Amino acid sequence: MEKKEKKSNLKTRIFSGTRPTGFLHLGNYLGGLKGYIELQNKKNYDCIYAVVDLHGITSPYNPKTYQDNVREIVLEYLACGLDPKKCHLIIQSQIPEHVELAYLLGTIYPVSRLEQLPTYKDKKKEQPKYINIGLFYYPILMAADILLYKAQFVPVGKDQSPHLEVTREIARAFNRHFGQTFPEPETYLMQYSYIPSLTGEGKMSKSKLGSYINLIDSLPTIRKKLAKVPTDSGKGKKLPEKGGVVVLLMLVELFEGKKKKEAYEKLYLSSGIKYKGLKDELAEAIYKELKPIQKKRKYYEEHPKLVDEILEQGRKYASEIAKQTIKEVKQKMGLI
Ligand code: AMP
Ligand code: TRP
């Protein structure tokens, strides 16, 4: 990454997005947003972060409250530390070129490849009565989001790796057919790019009740959620490799430090861990990190005009780039 950075005098473009499907949770924060923030703080990086509302409507949703959901993500983006002086915030559907590019890119990608994607297969199981074309087209629209801005790095959790692979395949196919146009974007992964579910099975996910801690949760709520994490007797000859204890120890490391985690691991292998104490301390540590985020969220909630201005600036900035890319793509494809 560093090498590429030095070769070019131009700014390195970064793009990522989150679906407005509910309050953000620790998985989104640790796997996604922390990466967004890390990159906005680097010199010579030009970051665009989106609320991908067109992706959100591929799963069942309520149109009457959808605008609130979109706003919520913007508030949480700002509250977590996305700084409009260092990055641009956009709402995907306000820039129609995303859809236009998605259609164009869809014409050079095989149906068979989309059908094999693990994310599509999972969704089919998760929402068997809602298998729509949008869901099928999801990875193409995501590729369009990224390629529209010619982004080189995409901060996302590990769950998005198959989608990034599709994006790279599309970039390569386009360049091969129509001449060099798009860079092949790379995933920018955080150290913990996969946060497991509090249930001890699968990933922390908005669509799985009981699996997550939200960024807006109060201390009593965090305590209650941690209390439900399944544990064991607290000691053994070997450290557990899966289940609730693994999740707890990962969160201990992330919120209380590596040393603390190692101390618990030693206890596990000797006199044993008392989970009540571990969970109480962990709840405090998580809340300590979330409290300033919640305060900042409230500030932006109380200053809606400021938020509108930030979004308008983002829209204008991104629109310019989007128009240029679409023009170039249409020219190369022989449409103009
Ligand atoms: P989503 O809510 O699915 O739109 O995800 C927004 C961002 O959070 C994406 O970058 C995801 O990869 C990331 N993310 C979601 N869940 C997790 C998780 N359990 N662990 C790590 N990253 C996650
Ligand atoms: N698929 C991503 C998720 O579920 C959201 C997304 C849509 C995205 N377009 C994107 C992420 C472009 C990164 C870049 O989290």
Q: What is the mean pLDDT of residues 92-111?
A: 97
How confident is residue 9, by pLDDT bands cut at 50, 70 and 90?
A: low
pTM of the predicted model as reported, rounded to 2 decimal places: 0.94
User: Separation of 97 CA from ligand 2 center, angstroms?
Assistant: 16
**What is the spatial distance between Cα 118 and Cα 135, in angstroms, rounded to a whole number?**
12
Q: Classify residue 260 as exposed, middle or buried by CB count within 10 Å of its CB (0-12, 13-18, 19+).
A: middle
Share of the chain above pLDDT 90, in %: 90
Q: Mean pLDDT over all residues of the chain?
A: 95
Query: pLDDT digits over 251-305, tens only?
Result: 999 999 999 999 999 999 999 999 999 999 999 999 999 999 999 999 999 999 9
Query: pLDDT digits over 178-234, tens only?
Result: 999 999 999 999 888 899 999 999 999 988 889 999 999 999 999 999 999 999 999
What residue ranges line ligand 2, CB within 6 angstroms? Answer: 15-17, 19, 52, 55, 142, 145-146, 154, 156, 160, 163
Query: pLDDT digits over 47-91, tens only?
Result: 999 999 999 999 999 999 999 999 999 999 999 999 999 999 999
Ligand 1 binding pocket mutation candidate from 159, 187, 215 (most atoms within 8 A of CB): 159
8 A C-beta contact, residue 151 and residue 88: no
Task: Name every residue whose Cβ is closer than 8 Å to that of residue 193 and which is 6 or more positions away in sequence.
Answer: 31, 156, 157, 158
Q: Classify residue 110 as exposed, middle or buried by CB count within 10 Å of its CB (0-12, 13-18, 19+).
A: exposed
8 A C-beta contact, residue 32 and residue 156: yes
